[in-house]
Amino acid sequence: MTRKLEIVATPTPLVKAERLSSELGIGLYIKRDDLAGPTFGGNKSRQLEYYFGAALAEGADTILITGAVQSNFVRLAAAVARSQGMQAIVQLEDRVPGKSTAYRSSGNVLLARLIGAEIITYAHGEDEEGADAALHAKADELRARGRTPYVIHLSEGHPPLGALGYVDAATEILGQSDDFDFYVVASGSGSTHAGLLAGLRGAGSKAKVLGSCVRRDAKAQAPRIRRVTDRLVQLFPKAEAVTDDDIVVWDGALAPGYGRLGPAGRAAMGRMAAAEGLHLDPVYTAKSFAAVLAHVDSGDIPKGSRVCFVHTGGLAALFAYHEDLTV
């Protein structure tokens, strides 16, 4: 059994969105993983349960992690590190061109600073191996000074510990409700999408799991999800049940690109807020909820379907995007 540190008070709520359900003609439920874990929560809390399980088993005293400037993952990793008496070194990558002062200093960056993370930067945006290599160089320096660092990798080819957090979430949801016809989730690194899909298939569910691309287009994301589910088999053998046809990705709300909000995402944020009084974030959940709306519109999610929208969090980034959101 892979070791796990409990970070999330489970189960997170699974609530019916009453007004959106009647407006859309479906049974829409929201899995409130925006409430999972410390410092404004989010899906990375479930992933970190396994990374910190491994880090604690190795006796680590310092966590190193890399991400976009407004990464929710680094903010949460920094908070959990502090809660375990560890140092956190977070590396912020320049992935989103031409952003404002608020983007560079508010939202997740502000929270990571307040938590006391050491912040370093990486000048490239689309270089996962390079970003990890920079973390390893830093980890080597720390080792030379007698410290025990643990690196949370961004690049592929490492055991997908984070996906186990969403295998757990699948079990949790099935314990809260009858199965759904559709699950809709943001698909970025793919840990959440792959873990949820594998967890559901492992439990015998035939539900359709729709991943809304937030980072790369559908043509690149589908094989990535396949690679994550394949690697997951070592940690969770039932992931073997995932077939190629199970991997469904949609990139209709991805434009104009990672970390940038287009009209579909913006409309989705407005719709959720007006109907349910809930916020979505501009980078991930605006685009995943846009997938629900587009698929109901096209009939790919038929009327009467039971749909679980996984709210993966990201709300701290709202304050970094206020200029985009108020014009």
| 182-187 and 149-152 strand pairing | unpaired
In the complex with ligand PLP, the residue whose CB is nearer, 129 or 140, is 129
Stretch of 40-48, 122-130, 148-156, 244-252 lying at the interface with ligand PLP (CB under 6 A): 40-48
DSSP 3-state of 268: helix
Is residue 41 a contact point for ligand PLP (CB under 6 A)? no
Tell me the closest approach of the beta carbon of residue 240 to ligand PLP, in angstroms: 20
Q: Does 250 bind ligand PLP (CB under 6 A)?
A: no
Instruction: Assess 43 for contact with ligand PLP (CB under 6 A).
Output: yes
Catalytically annotated residue among 22, 45, 71, 288: 71
Measured distance CA(204)–CA(103) in Å, rounded: 43
Query: Is residue 42 a contact point for ligand PLP (CB under 6 A)?
Result: yes
Q: What is the CB neighbour count within 10 angstroms for residue 317? A: 26
DSSP string, 273-326: HHHHS----TTTHHHHHHHHHHHHHHTSS-TT-EEEEEE-B-GGGGGGGHHHHH
Binder of ligand PLP out of 64, 151, 186, 210 (CB under 6 A)? 186
Q: Determine the Cα–Cα distance for residues 259 and 250; give it in Å rounded to an integer.
A: 17
Q: Which stretch binds ligand PLP (CB under 6 A): 51-59, 113-121, 189-197, 256-264?
A: 189-197
- The DSSP bridge pattern shows strands 118-122 and 87-93 to be parallel
DSSP characters over 180-225: PSEEEEEESSSHHHHHHHHHHHHTT---EEEEEESSS-HHHHHHHH
105 annotated active-site: no
Residues 47-86 that bind ligand PLP (CB under 6 A): 72-73
What are the backbone dihedrals phi and psi of residue 231, each rounded to the nearest 5 degrees, phi first? -70, -30
How many angstroms separate the CA atoms of 227 and 262, rounded?
Answer: 28
Minimum CB separation of residue 192 from ligand PLP in Å reads: 3
Q: Which of 187, 221, 229, 305 binds ligand PLP (CB under 6 A)?
A: 187
> Site for ligand PLP (CB under 6 A): which residue of 192, 205, 212, 221?
192
**Is residue 44 close enough to count as binding ligand PLP by CB under 6 A?**
yes
Q: Which of 29, 122, 180, 284 binds ligand PLP (CB under 6 A)?
A: 284
Stretch that binds ligand PLP, among 18-26, 95-103, 176-184, 279-287 (CB under 6 A): 279-287
Quick check: 304 and 259 in contact, CB under 8 A? no
Element (H, E) at 68: strand 62-68
| Catalytic (active-site) positions | 71
Binding residues for ligand PLP, rule: CB under 6 A, are: 42-44, 72-73, 186-193, 281, 284-285, 312-314
